[in-house]
Structure 1
Amino acid sequence: MKLKNYIIISIGMFIGLLTYSQNGTLKRADNLFNKFSFVNAAEVYHELIDKNYNADYATRKLADSYAFMRNPDSAVVYYKKAVEQPNVPIAYYYNYAQALRGVKNYKDSRVWMKRFKEVGGNIKQEKFTKDSDFLNAIFNAKQKYFLTDVKFNSKYSDFGAFQHNGIIYFASSRDEGVSTKHLYGWNQEPFLDIYMALNNTDSLINHKSKLKGDVNSVYHDGPVTISKDGKTMYFSRNDFLKNKLGKDKLGSTNLKIYKAILVDDAWTNIEEMPFNGSDFSNGHPALNPDETKLYFASDRMGGYGGSDIYYVDINQDGTYGKPKNIGAVVNTNKNEKFPFINSEGALFFASDGHPGLGLLDIFGTVSDKKNTIVSVINLGVPVNSSKDDFAFFMSVDGLSGYFASNRSGGVGSDDIYAFDRVPQLIIEGIVTDAETNQPLPNTVVTLLNTNGDEIAREETDENGEYIMNIERDTDYTVSVTRIDFEKTTLPVSSKNLERSVKSIKTDIVLNHKQKEHIQKTEFYPIYFDFNKAVIREDGTSELDRIVNLMVNKYPKMTIKISSHTDSRGTTEYNNELSQARAVATYNYLVNHGVKPERIIEYKGYGEQQLVNNCDGTINCTEAQHQLNRRTDFIVIAME
């Protein structure tokens, strides 16, 4: 492969990889945002803005990230930029108004709230925003969670769904199909056991679906959390081990946390955690992503009131640290229960002490750069209701999960509900050559709104692929351009799509431009004196002819310049001298009116491309050497 071709291909591959990298960066930012990792998401959105890659979209998401980090000062800055964007979603008028309220700029807040109403915005005054908390107002301005049916609920209590390797583990008081039924005196339902289901639609869940091994007992068992390798389970259970039921000083039995190990598909080797106690309850265990901490709820002495969220460190030698209260940002003088840590380390929990819609509500937390929790967010409807909502679980991608509720309309006392979050919508496709059906890398794809304003622009990667984030319920135009191909535009709409749709596939075929018949034009070499790189007077006439043709007759012509030396002198020196001749030629043409971008390349080749046999092995005349001291011109395109 010739060096110049290798360079061109390498540059093309680099541009393609760069575009692919930016696509991956955008996906990573959205993924972090979906999982409440707003600090890390903000850093990536900043990076995208600095690279001017989908900058409008990144600006809006950056503003949201700052709002959720309870940083209204920064949120206001980027919301202001967002509302100045053409065709911005009207929800950002509302978000900007709320952020202005967060910095106590009530005058401007009223202006933008009025504008939001004028363009058709609908404002719902949720109960949990009555404390003038701008953060919850922004987060819950638009419904983010949508519920789907769970077929394995029973007429009894079902809660605590936890999914691992495709299996859903959950606690249930169903105990049908066995000869002996133990009833819990509190609600006259059977005691809780841990069951397994394969999916939401698995309705045949009975005593045969119980967890295998020694975890289930004659008292309450569950909910559970499982290590990533699937070999260790932590679970709640009444104070019961080795057929001995523990009681406190008043004769009541509290909850404790136990550990089980998977041996031959059965959970066994039950071990009580060392931080338990018979005079208080520990329950609802949850592991953090790197499994160095175990979170749980406890009503032990020394908390803020009711039950609080605690954690213990899991040491490398398998021992456990002392319980630590997670602090007053999360814990209140009432009850905080059912912690869950998602894949980005964000804590979710149920509480009846924070402003909510009713009894227990589910909240998410936001942390700063030091991983210190700085605020909590009510997840809003439909996750929360006027009844108890608890036992939250989120999938690794942050787009689906489960929670439990005793709200009206269920089939039992507590039911499990599955949720989906609306995924970011993308438009993607492949740009191909109509004649060869081959993909076209480095092709410019531009996203326009209905007014023709540019929303985003990118180049296809080495496989001719492109991908861009778009808003839902919006009309767009996609414009595709490439040298030597006809410009193509086509309308794209994201209106009336199902919530589950994540991508609009739009492949684009480009046609070659129709070639006009142009008379072949021949350029003649210009020559240089020995050991010099100065344009001679006899060379200016040819250069002036080239300028005239390129400027006046063929305004789209592109050329390459290649300059050479004779064989006298060292190879290194001749390379430098020929490059100086190429630069001198380039400068002359540009200085006389040829646009620089129409000269694709100007390069010196030293003595590599002699036109005769004067390579130093034979005697040559000065006239023969002169033929090698030249600059040649190659026409790349005439139009």
Structure 2
Amino acid sequence: MLRYLYTASFVLLTTLSAAAQNVEFSKDEFKGDKESLKNAQKELKEANSWYETDPPRYEQALPHFLAAQQVNPNNAQLNFRIGHCYLNSTYKAKALPYLQKAYQLDPQVDARIRYMLGRGLHLNARWEEAIAEYKAAQPAAGSKNATAQQNDIRKKIQECEAGLALMKTPTRAFIDNVGTAINTPYPEYGPVITADESVMLFTSRRDGGVGDEKDPFIGGYFEDIWQSVKGKDGQWQAARNLGPTVNTKGHDAVVALSPDGQKLVTYVEDGAGDLHEADLKGSAWSKPGSLGRRVNGGQSHESSAAYAPNGRMLYFVSNGSEESSRGGHDIWRLDVEGKGKAENLGSVINTPYDEDGIFVHPDGKTIYFSSQGHNSMGGYDIFRSEWKNGQWTKPENLGWPINTPDDDVFFVLSASGRHGYFASSRDDSQGSRDIYMITFLGPEKPPVISSEEPLLASRAAPVRQTLLAPAVPIATAQVTILKGTVTDADSKQPIEATIELVDNTLSQTIASFRSNSQSGRYLVSLPSGVNYGIVVRKEGYLFHSENFDLPQGAAYSEVVKDIPLKKLDVGAKVVLNNIFFDFDKATLRKESTAELERLVQLMTTEYPALRIEISGHTDNVGKAEYNKDLSQRRAKAVVDYLTAHGVAAARLTSAGYGDTQPVAPNTSKEGRQLNRRTEFKVVAK
């Protein structure tokens, strides 16, 4: 089949070549239109000055070549150079007709013409025709760099074969422009989102930035970081610039946002390119500071990063440390609270080719990244891998149409797994390129082809194409998003508090966060498979605890929990939601240890004069006398634990109230659950 395609393609091109005639930019060819020739020659001179510089400036050369082509569309070298410029531009797929015409006019126009034709066909997903051209482009034996050229062609053929296979089983998805609140006639790209999709940060080269000046080297405004939030109607609101604390007069690009939106990582072009981090203080971001030598190398290039949901692990992309690298840019992982070196993710993830665009899903176990290796269909493709049984699973290509023959990088996914975000240039874009949202398993829409120009924060440039097909199953994200506000119980004013995430089974604190000092808002990602204790603390207040026991495989959900913290005053009560007893017994379960130790610390270290009452409560199921006795025994069990761990008995009393002090109606399962509780009340301080 491939041999037939090659033969047919060759015959067609040869026939057209014989019919077409190469027209030079000479006086003999333009005897009747000297003015047009003069203008065309001027355009050619300007174009070639950009094209032949080192390095070539394709973007600046292209409009001048196109202007000359309007005068003379039948010059082989001009069509070849236009095609070459397009191959290095936003609109790579546009290269093909110019390269085909160059070959028709002169099959010997350039030694690279068959390879370039292969690239043009490849980028238009014409897989089999591209393979035929690549095979025709094999270098002559003994030619300079023949081995490298052969390896490159072999890789391109493998990409076409992968594309051909992946295109047969496409992923059902549709793509929508996120709208004019975010997108402008200028380029927007690199979106990052909070886990609940309530906040988006992105990079834009629009006017109105901090410097509001244009880059003299590449043209267009300098990059700045912008932010949009979702309104109550679910629509993105008008984007605002993050301001001069984060943005400078030069290029500033965002590469990561923590799931709760309280930290961001920026790319800064200092030296080879480094990563910096900023914190959200109230409504203002701090000045980004370098992530340090454990991430940024002196001569290495760091282009991408992502936070793990617990905030303790940072994943990033770097081409440093040759002795540990798999080749080019690799993905690394760093324990930010430890002192050790960054760890390479290994050969399952990293290939001899470049990796980039790392993103860690809020489920804490799934990563999405882009790679030129694995079974990429061309350039960077987006892959998915999951941490299972102590190792990463084989990366899975997200498939067509999410991936295309060109670079597909910087993909982020909501915690629900429903929406992905990326940047693209499409028919409905506001201008150069816009930010789009992928909705998985959505209704059918017409096929659209899109592309994207190079980003400044990385060499990679996403190009995506949409083609819809029958639905395929997508697993529900196994994560719960807990969010809300922390306030003073009396004044109702938001407060900044520490939020600790505890694994009750292991009695270990696994993460720590802070609510926003101005809004009081917090957001915590809770991957399934853990019995969580949530503890909210602030000096001068009684701690607040919540319990979320999420079995392995629990489906995605969002829980809104507003937390009013009570000041440490006499009479204040706190429910100990992480005290657990065996059914119908007063035996403390081991999952209670972390909460009990918290009480010990409160009584012995933080407030050594505090006196409290521990009380037990039940629902109204069963006999009242029995319920009162059970609640008394449970309260005493807590007191006994505290006295055994250094709290003076004189500071503690226990009481069992049975079902006499309900906090909710006993008419529902949920109400009865709330009534079965252990509390402590401040008696004296």
TM-score bin (small chain): 0.3 to 0.5
TM-score by length of 2: 0.37
With CA pairs under 8 Å and 6+ residues apart, which has the higher RCO, 1 or 2?
1
TM-score by length of 1: 0.39
Higher Rg: 1
